[in-house]
Structure 1
Amino acid sequence: MKRHLVTAVILLIAILLYAVGISGGGAALVGVGGAVELWFWVRALRPRPPAAHTK
């Protein structure tokens, strides 16, 4: 569950950076937003390793 929370926070940061960059913050913030979005997609699409079952 923690993994999903971190991934969702990464997406929110990317959206925030896009919004600030487009509204006049500059192209650098849009670029950083793109990099953070790429990080989001890598985390979201990467297969998770199977959980170790211990008893």
Structure 2
Amino acid sequence: MPRDAVPPWRYAGVRIAAERLDGGVFESLDWAALIARYDTPDALFYLDSPYVGGEAD
């Protein structure tokens, strides 16, 4: 189906998320290294905890 045939509201959530994440940084580092690298007075961190059984990941 051509994209222009899909109602615009179907993409609204993606657009909103993209705008909110614009300028964000995604990293896969040890938590201490991440904070040492990016910590500033204006920084906000979301540190996803390890998953049980995912130690080998």
Q: Scaled by the length of structure 2, what TM-score is found?
A: 0.29
- Structure (1/2) with the larger helix percentage: 1
Name the structure, 1 or 2, with higher relative contact order (CA <8 Å, separation 6+). 1
Larger radius of gyration: 2
